[in-house]
Amino acid sequence: MASSSTAPTPPAAGDVPFDQWLDEQRRGQHHTVRRVPLQALPGWHFSRDTGDLVHSSGRFFSVSGLRVTTDYGTGEGRPHSWTQPVIVQREVGVLGVLLKEHRGEVYCLLQAKMEPGNLNGVQMSPTVQATRSNYTGVHRGRRVPYTEYFTGDRRGARVLADSLQSEQGWWFLHKRNRNVVVMTDEDVPALDGFRWLSLRQIGALLRRDHLMNMDSRTVLSALPPQVLPCRGTGPGPAGEDDALCSLTEVLSVLADARFRYELSQEQLPLREVLESSAGPWRRTGDGIGRDDGRHFTVLGVTVEAQAREVARWSQPLLAPVAGLAGLLVRRVGGVPHVLLRARVEAGTLNVAEFGPTVQCSTRHLSERGAHRPEFLDTLLAPRAGRVVFDTEQSEEGGRFHHALTRNRIVELEETDEAAVRALPPDFCWVSVAQVQALLRHGNYLNVQARCLMTALTLATG
Amino acid sequence: MASSSTAPTPPAAGDVPFDQWLDEQRRGQHHTVRRVPLQALPGWHFSRDTGDLVHSSGRFFSVSGLRVTTDYGTGEGRPHSWTQPVIVQREVGVLGVLLKEHRGEVYCLLQAKMEPGNLNGVQMSPTVQATRSNYTGVHRGRRVPYTEYFTGDRRGARVLADSLQSEQGWWFLHKRNRNVVVMTDEDVPALDGFRWLSLRQIGALLRRDHLMNMDSRTVLSALPPQVLPCRGTGPGPAGEDDALCSLTEVLSVLADARFRYELSQEQLPLREVLESSAGPWRRTGDGIGRDDGRHFTVLGVTVEAQAREVARWSQPLLAPVAGLAGLLVRRVGGVPHVLLRARVEAGTLNVAEFGPTVQCSTRHLSERGAHRPEFLDTLLAPRAGRVVFDTEQSEEGGRFHHALTRNRIVELEETDEAAVRALPPDFCWVSVAQVQALLRHGNYLNVQARCLMTALTLATG
């Protein structure tokens, strides 16, 4: 693997500064993304049987229809029902980060990677970000580098975390990716486009908008506590006994939501969603959308790039309205706790997962009479607290077009009434150490909550 | 709740011996179960649209169709596909056991309960065994006793375990029940039909055939180690460091199976399964079955009972061929380990779960050329080891007719070659303490493995 184009293992003596390196990567990964009407998207077509938008190989993913019936979020407990387009991608992919310890610091091998939906093209991605099709070569592209550290005997690397985690439940049906962290003792050179970054460097990059992509943020949430640099709001010596609730009680809050709420999911032909006179979804001139502009549209792009697995391809992207994901944090006896909420989303695999304190789209919040989520006002303007994190991040640019989510973390003082009020149903104060215990397992925290936990543990303090 | 018909809280001074009490319960719960052709089953009909067998209320459960495509178990990795009938029961039920400590012993409140599929009518069931319909009164029957210890503030009882766990993946699509264990400090009288039993008594009852029902066996697998009586093959002081693999490596074996195997599940109209000329499933004179007699049939029964929620009802039951579930155990440095296998089943929610070492139907094992599962011969006749548990148990009598599974546990000596051979894919030696850590969470162990763990920790040594 070593060649003249590789940089040495960390610390990268002689490396150019990160920003200069990233600029070079952006220039080197020159690409164009051009909008193409869905009905003219090369390689894709609306299936004659179902109207689903599918690839001619039958693989990758499809845009299908979903009928959801749930009594979550209705207030009075009577189920409501709707249909919507949804991305179906049954295949489980891998998001893998390779770690290496050097002189007491932990380094991650990350990759500057262009994704067509990113508003700025290139962002920092995990060591390996691949669908099973990438592994098996359906893309007919180049071999994915570093996969040997994540399969088989992993070249002797130790696995520190390995679980299947969900992705956006409002846009995907039952989507999961395998999030893997491995630690190697080998000297692993960074190939062109890759770079070893310390966790402290990554913490600083997380505080900048649209730099660490969603895949990096989710897989870094699985870092075990023993490799994390200890910081202010990061985990202190918080064993289970120091938390407000036992871990069993936390698990019970989620089990109760999974028992109590009905969530019926029926995959439908997309045609039934788009041709229903009762529903708001329509084929538009070049895509799929709603008259009222809510939620998302689906559009098509053709990408020409030099440094992607294949040099030219076309694909649909889901373009959502802007979102907000916010976490309230407080210390109880010095132990940091976060306020999580069990949430049912349209495509959740197992009824409910914990999401952040606040999770909503922001487009219609300022309208008269708009529903304001619980704790939103505290998140935006705490009476007694401080903003410890506030950046705008991108959702996965391989599926989503300019999907911007404001990530905000507010640490409340004990005197803020939101810190001590009786909690509405489905909310639970969970210690950071308990969240880290949950993150060893799949489908406990949704992707928004996981990304906020990465920000909290690596980028605050 | 106290009345003249209640027995005192444990120890039940003046109680009649258990077997005499159970005989009285069997006599008191006199009932008849009569076979009725499915097409004449009161309250049930084959849906005109789909051919699914459904209840007129639209609730409870249905017998529908399933198309499965998977590359698990094919050897050469090419996916195979089949259709089959499947029970669909989206509603999550509760299996709850109430515990109480008395003079250093832990007691469970269990219930003598008749289920129509049990070959012996009454077996011992959890404190609460209820669908959400039971809670909400769709059965129009009596209120389910003791539910107040499992909902809301639980009358102050402490929750010791609470997770959603899967049930038989070959017969159910995505079925889960909530398994809950709570510990009360109150004096709780046992109503008629209920009885406080110590964990040691339960251990003895587990060694008898068809006495502890499946719901009891699965929920008791969630008992946390601190309430278990310490026994021979039970958990010793086995922290994570004493195990052959780290817990992260164990989790990684399952994550790898969930990533590697394809499992596509498409719910179909039952009519398509039964009318396919390519498939083996047919409507028979009074039910559903296959020409070759494999797997299961579906039949109908009408039940008349005195002590059930409603006095008379009819329902379909799935009648499977007999099965075997077996666990190999060995000590490594004194620490007990069990051999688990990641398994993909037709109706698994999340691709794969850990099952026992051996899990198969036994009907065709003796045929010439029949496939013999890995480790079957060691389980049946170990070269160097001893049988520590071997009973025949019933699967859930509310859904299954005379569903008999031989539960067998063999402890291998280190000198048995099966104890030290290189493991085939998907197998993993996991310490008992690690399994108990997994059992805090849902969908790691399938129901056969959970029932065997209950036997191992409560009934061996």
Looking at residue B356, what is its pLDDT? 98
Encoded amino acid at B187, one letter:
D
Nearest chain A alpha carbon to B158: A249
Instruction: Pick A251's closest partner by Cβ from B176, B258, B440.
Output: B440
Q: How many Cβ atoms from other residues are within 10 Å of residue A421's Cβ?
A: 11
Q: Does B1 fall in a domain? A: no
Q: Does A263 fall in a domain? A: yes
Spatial distance between the Cα atoms of B198 and B109, rounded to a whole number of angstroms? 9
Nearest chain A alpha carbon to B224: A248
Q: Which stretches within A261-363 are classed as H helix?
A: 270-274
Using a pLDDT cut of 90, give the percent of chain B over it. 79
Nearest chain B alpha carbon to A264: B90
| Chain A residues touching residue B255 (CB < 8 angstroms) | 162-164, 178, 180, 442
Looking at residue A1, what is its pLDDT? 36
A259, A260, A267, A443: which to substitute to probe chain B, counting the most B Cβ within 10 Å? Answer: A259
Residue corresponding to tokens 């390996």: A128
Instruction: Pick B248's closest partner by Cβ from A91, A162, A248.
Output: A162
Distance, in angstroms, between B75 CA and closest chain A CA? Answer: 18
Instruction: Pick B349's closest partner by Cβ from A163, A259, A350.
Output: A350
**Residue contacts between A and B (CB atoms, under 8 Å):** 83
Q: Does B7 fall in a domain? A: no
Residue corresponding to tokens 């494999």: B294
CB-neighbour burial class of residue B232 (10 A; exposed 0-12, middle 13-18, buried 19+): exposed
Looking at residue A74, what is its pLDDT? 82
Q: What CA dihedral angle connects A267, A272, A274 and A278, to 10 degrees? A: -110
CB-based contact B259 A440, cutoff 8 Å: no
Task: Annotate A129-157 with b (16+ C-beta within 10 A) or e (fewer).
Answer: bbbbbbbeebbeeeebbbbebbbeebeeb
Spatial distance between the Cα atoms of A340 and A446, rounded to a whole number of angstroms? 10
Sign of the C-alpha dihedral computed for residues B392, B395, B397 and B401 taken in this order: negative
Angle at B85 (CA atoms; ends B321, B87), nearest 5 degrees: 90
Stated as kind and residue range, the H or E segment containing A35 is strand A31-36
Distance, in angstroms, between B254 CA and closest chain A CA? Answer: 8
Spatial distance between the Cα atoms of A130 and A304, rounded to a whole number of angstroms? 19
Nearest chain A alpha carbon to B250: A162
Looking at residue A370, what is its pLDDT? 80
Spatial distance between the Cα atoms of B251 and A163, rounded to a whole number of angstroms? 7
| B287 Cβ contact partners less than 8 Å away, ≥ 6 residues apart | B37, B38, B297, B298, B299, B300
Contacts 24+ apart (CB under 8 A), A22-27: A22/A112, A22/A122, A25/A112, A25/A122, A25/A193, A26/A112, A26/A121, A26/A122
Looking at residue A381, what is its pLDDT? 94
Nearest chain B alpha carbon to A136: B260
CB-based contact A163 B132, cutoff 8 Å: no
A252, A265, A351: which to substitute to probe chain B, counting the most B Cβ within 10 Å? Answer: A252
Q: How far is CA A436 from the centre of its chain?
A: 17
* CATH number reported for the structural domain that contains residue A86 in this entry: 3.90.79.40
B contact set with A (CB within 8 A) = 90-92, 94, 132, 159-164, 176, 178, 180, 224, 247-249, 251-252, 255-256, 258-259, 262, 264, 349-351, 440-443
| A256 Cβ contact partners less than 8 Å away, ≥ 6 residues apart | A342, B162
pLDDT beyond 90 at B373: yes
| Chain B residues touching residue A351 (CB < 8 angstroms) | 92
Distance, in angstroms, between A134 CA and closest chain B CA? Answer: 13
| Chain A residues touching residue B251 (CB < 8 angstroms) | 162-163, 440-441
Answer yes or no: are the C-beta atoms of B115 and B396 closer than 8 Å: yes
Task: Annotate A2-17 with b (16+ C-beta within 10 A) or e (fewer).
Answer: eeeeebebbebeeeee
Residue corresponding to tokens 């950046």: A391
CB-based contact A91 B262, cutoff 8 Å: yes
Beta strands (DSSP E) in A188-344 are: 194-198, 263-268, 281-283, 288-290, 296-305, 312-320, 323-332, 335-343
Mean pLDDT value of segment B142-152 = 87
pLDDT by residue (tens digit) across A409-453? 999 998 888 888 899 999 999 999 999 999 999 999 999 999 999
Distance, in angstroms, between B132 CA and closest chain A CA? Answer: 8
CB-based contact A251 B178, cutoff 8 Å: no
Least confidently predicted of A74-78, B54-58, B161-165: A74-78
Looking at residue A234, what is its pLDDT? 43
Q: What is the DSSP string of A349-385?
A: TTS-EEE-SEEEESTTTTSTT----TTHHHHHS-SSE
| A170 Cβ contact partners less than 8 Å away, ≥ 6 residues apart | A295, A345, A346, A347
Q: Does B8 fall in a domain? A: no
Q: Which of B253-262, B365-374, B411-420 has the highest mean pLDDT?
A: B253-262
Q: Which of B8-12, B97-101, B127-131 has the highest mean pLDDT?
A: B97-101
Looking at residue B306, what is its pLDDT? 65
Domain residue limits at B316:
14-461
Instruction: Pick B259's closest partner by Cβ from A94, A251, A264.
Output: A94
Number of domains forming the structure of chain B: 1
Q: How many Cβ atoms from other residues are within 10 Å of residue A268's Cβ?
A: 19
Structure tokens at B387: 């049988």
Looking at residue A130, what is its pLDDT? 86
Q: How many Cβ atoms from other residues are within 10 Å of residue A166's Cβ?
A: 24
CB-based contact B164 A259, cutoff 8 Å: yes
pLDDT beyond 70 at B338: yes
Q: Does A103 fall in a domain? A: yes
CB-based contact A91 B264, cutoff 8 Å: no
Distance, in angstroms, between A283 CA and closest chain B CA? Answer: 27
Answer yes or no: are the C-beta atoms of A80 and A121 closer than 8 Å: no
Nearest chain B alpha carbon to A69: B90
Instruction: Pick A350's closest partner by Cβ from B161, B164, B180.
Output: B164
Instruction: Pick A251's closest partner by Cβ from B162, B251, B259.
Output: B162
Encoded amino acid at A22, one letter:
L
Q: How far is CA B219 from the centre of its chain?
A: 9
Q: Does B2 fall in a domain? A: no
Stated as kind and residue range, the H or E segment containing A31 is strand A31-36
Sign of the C-alpha dihedral computed for residues A70, A435, B343 and A136 taken in this order: positive
Instruction: Pick A163's closest partner by Cβ from B91, B224, B255.
Output: B255
Spatial distance between the Cα atoms of B401 and B116, rounded to a whole number of angstroms? 7
Looking at residue B10, what is its pLDDT? 61
Spatial distance between the Cα atoms of A192 and A12, rounded to a whole number of angstroms? 13
Looking at residue B283, what is its pLDDT? 95
Q: How confident is the model at residue B310 (pLDDT cuts 50, 70, 90)?
A: low
pLDDT by residue (tens digit) across B129-141? 988 766 655 445 5
Spatial distance between the Cα atoms of B150 and B411, rounded to a whole number of angstroms? 37
Q: How many CA atoms lie within 13 A of A145 on its CB side?
A: 20
At B116 the three-state DSSP class reads: coil
B99, B129, B173, B248: which to substitute to probe chain A, counting the most A Cβ within 10 Å? Answer: B248
CB-based contact B163 A264, cutoff 8 Å: no
Q: What is the DSSP string of A70-133?
A: E-TT-SSS--EEEEEEEEE--S-EEEEEEEEEETTEEEEEEEEEE-TT-TTSEEEE-SEEE-HH
Instruction: Pick B350's closest partner by Cβ from A164, A224, A264.
Output: A164
Tell me which residue of B256, B287, B101 sits closest to B186, measured CA to CA.
B101
Looking at residue A172, what is its pLDDT? 98
pLDDT beyond 50 at B317: yes
Mean pLDDT value of segment B210-217 = 98
Residue with more model confidence, B151 or B98: B98
Spatial distance between the Cα atoms of B292 and B154, rounded to a whole number of angstroms? 50
Tell me which residue of A346, A369, A343, A347 sits closest to A358, measured CA to CA.
A343
Angle at A29 (CA atoms; ends A26, A32), nearest 5 degrees: 100
Spatial distance between the Cα atoms of B201 and B455, rounded to a whole number of angstroms? 13
Q: Which residues of chain A have pLDDT under 50?
A: 1-8, 13, 138-139, 231-238
Q: Does B9 fall in a domain? A: no
Q: What CA dihedral angle connects A167, A170, A171 and A176, to 10 degrees? A: 20
Answer yes or no: are the C-beta atoms of B404 and B394 closer than 8 Å: yes
Looking at residue A14, what is its pLDDT? 62
Q: Does A7 fall in a domain? A: no
pLDDT by residue (tens digit) across A343-352? 999 999 999 9
Answer yes or no: are the C-beta atoms of B338 and B430 closer than 8 Å: yes
Spatial distance between the Cα atoms of A116 and A320, rounded to a whole number of angstroms? 15
Residue corresponding to tokens 């994570």: B240
